[in-house]
Amino acid sequence: MKSSFFHNKYKGIVIGGSAGSFKPITKLLADLPKDFPIPIFLCLHRLKHVRHGFIEALSIKSSKPIFEPLDKELVRPGMVYLAPANYHLCIELGNTVSLSTEGLINNSRPAIDLTFKTAAYVYKEKLIGILFSGANKDGALGMKAIKDKGGVTIIQDPEESMMNTMPQSAKQVTEIDFCLEAEKITNFLLDLYKAYQK
């Protein structure tokens, strides 16, 4: 892999997924070291009425602190922030997140496009966007925004994805830096982790 990607300047990682993404994402979170320094923002399609249980399910195997942020919460290194049910999660200038009940986007709230676009606006080239399996197009335009601002785009290999519409749609609208199997995505982040250890 191109070594130019492995530096310690990243400010955030956004991860999106829908149907078929829960398993690989849980695995990814389980494999990340507890002190993995870059804040991670997860936007996953989820049932709007089930406020509880999701965090617990994601946390079972992970040593990382995963939680749903409150509106205007300060972003801290090493944390994993999950978009709450029925709210859009946005990244704000000034190192905070905000929540919003704006209408559905791509039939979704939270919408991956919105999390990705707002993160791209704030973090620009210091952002990594990762899109996993899913059965709709949410996230594609978000990935484009990330690429347009100079960030890094990674999709789960459509061959491996349980539902490939989501990674495939991203590929259709923008340049994808890495198309990887889930395990390789984890390796990518572990290599990155090493860059932060130096």
Partner 1 sequence: MQRDIEIAELRRLTQYIDDNFDYDFKNYAMSSFTRRVRRVIELYKFTSVEALIKKFKNDPAFFQEFVSEITVNVTEMFRDPTFWSSLRDEIIPEVIKEHRKISIWHAGCSSGEEVISMCILLKELNCLESATIVATDIDQSIINKAKKASFSSKNMELNKQNYERYGGKHDFLSYFVEDNGFFYIKPELIERVSFRVQDLVKGNPFSKFDLILCRNVMIYFNQTLQNEVLKKLHGSLFKYGNLAIGSKESLIWCDIANKFVVVNNEEKIYKKIKD
| Residue 78 token pair | 């090493």
Strands 127-131 and 12-17: parallel
DSSP 8-state code for residue 96: E
Within 95-114, the residues that bind partner 1 by CB under 8 A are 96, 98-103
Pairing of strands 96-100, 88-92: antiparallel
Residue 110 is classified by DSSP as: S
Q: Which amino acid is at 110?
A: P
Question: Does residue number 60 form part of the binding site for partner 1 (CB under 8 A)?
Answer: no
Residue 12 or 167: which CB sits closer to partner 1? Answer: 12
In the shown chain, the binding pattern of residues 109 to 148 toward partner 1, with x for contact by CB under 8 A and - for none, equals: ---------x--x---------------------------
7, 23, 51, 61: residue in contact with partner 1 (rule CB under 8 A): 51
45 has catalytic annotation = yes
| Closest approach of partner 1 to the CB of residue 105, in Å | 10
**Residue 181, interface with partner 1 (CB under 8 A)?**
no
CB of 183 to partner 1, least distance (A): 33
Q: Is 56 one of the binding residues for partner 1 (CB under 8 A)?
A: no
Provide the token pair at 169. 């749609």
Of the candidates 73, 78, 184, 187, which one interacts with partner 1 according to CB under 8 A? 73
**Which residue type is seen at 131?**
L
Q: Please say whether the beta carbons of 85 and 117 come within 8 A.
A: no
**Cα separations in angstroms, 71 against 91, 97, 101, 187:** 10, 6, 11, 32
Among 92, 157, 173, 184, binds partner 1 (CB under 8 A): 92
30 vs 105, beta carbon nearer partner 1 = 105
Using CB under 8 A, count the residues that bind partner 1. Answer: 23
Scanning 15-23, 70-78, 160-168, 183-191 for contacts with partner 1 by CB under 8 A, the matching segment is 70-78
Neighbours of 171 (CB within 10 A): 18
Peptide bond before residue 110 is cis, with ω within 30 degrees of 0 = yes
Q: Specify whether 88 is catalytic.
A: no
Strand partners, 17: 44
Q: Report whether 153 contacts 174 (CB < 8 A).
A: yes
Q: Which residues are catalytic?
A: 18, 45, 138
| Interacting residues with partner 1 (CB under 8 A) | 49, 51, 68-73, 84, 87, 90-93, 96, 98-103, 118, 121
